[in-house]
Amino acid sequence: MSEIVLEKLPYADTALEPVISAKTISFHYGKHHAGYVATLNKLIAGTPYAGLSLEEIVRKSAADGAAAVFNNAAQIWNHTFYWKSLAQAGTGGGPTGAFAEAVTRDFGSADALIKALADAAVKRFGSGWAWLVSEKGKLSVISTPNAETPLTNPALTPLLTLDVWEHAYYLDWQNRRADYAAAVLGKLLNWKFASDAFNRA
């Protein structure tokens, strides 16, 4: 049976500095994200989940109410999506094509979209995620608690996410979640990734 693997980071561990330090990446990717992978593989060995894709495990465990499997599988998927949502400052481009038109139609501007994501990040009580999602081409911002993910809603296509668990920002920003959110959303978003995801949906 093939195990779930930890996907490689799409950039060097220093690429997001100074907003997200290599030290944060070393714990966030190297300990938290990697830990979810190791735990999930232990949990699913010899079960009907073994051999399924990560997406299938997330959806099946949600449907089954298998909380431990779901929490670890969804956190793996959410983190991989988070790393892909970010890019070294100056390399993420801007909204393009049909995605750019949807941003203007649904938010007014990319800056207004960033503000909506920042608001969702700050208002999410406790641990969780802020997301830009598309529903049949209509963009909106949502947030989810803990490991919850839009992947379990077949109507939604996730386009970008921001991790607002304290482990994502505490080493660099301590308790200042709003400052972390503003810096990441203002400087590190991978708009090309979002545009591609939107245009594929």
d(CA 84, CA 93): 14
Asked if 76 contacts 36 with a C-beta cutoff of 8 angstroms, the reply is yes
Contacts with Mn ion: how many residues (CB under 5 A)?
3
Conformation bin of residue 128: beta by default, left when phi > 0, alpha when psi is -120 to 50: left
- Residue 129, SS3 per DSSP: strand
Q: How far is the CB of 52 from Mn ion (least distance, A)?
A: 23
| Residue (24 or 195) nearer to Mn ion, CB | 24
Compute φ and ψ for 30, nearest 5 degrees.
-75, -25
**Counting runs of H as helices and runs of E as strands, what totals does the chain give?**
9, 3
Least distance in Å: CB of 168 to Mn ion?
A: 5
**Least Cβ distance, residue 75 to Mn ion (angstroms):** 7
Return the number of the residue (7 or 106) whose C-beta is nearest Mn ion: 7
Task: Pick the stretch among 3-11, 98-106, 148-156, 159-167 that binds Mn ion (CB under 5 A).
Answer: 159-167
Q: Which is nearer to Mn ion, 29 or 99 (CB)?
A: 29
Bridge partners for 143 per DSSP: 130
Site for Mn ion contains 29 (CB under 5 A): no
C-alpha angle 133/139/141, rounded to 5°? 55
> Which residue in 163, 180, 181, 188 binds Mn ion (CB under 5 A)?
163
Distance in Å, CB of 90 to Mn ion, minimum: 24
**Does residue number 165 form part of the binding site for Mn ion (CB under 5 A)?**
yes
Binding site for Mn ion (CB under 5 A): 163, 165, 168
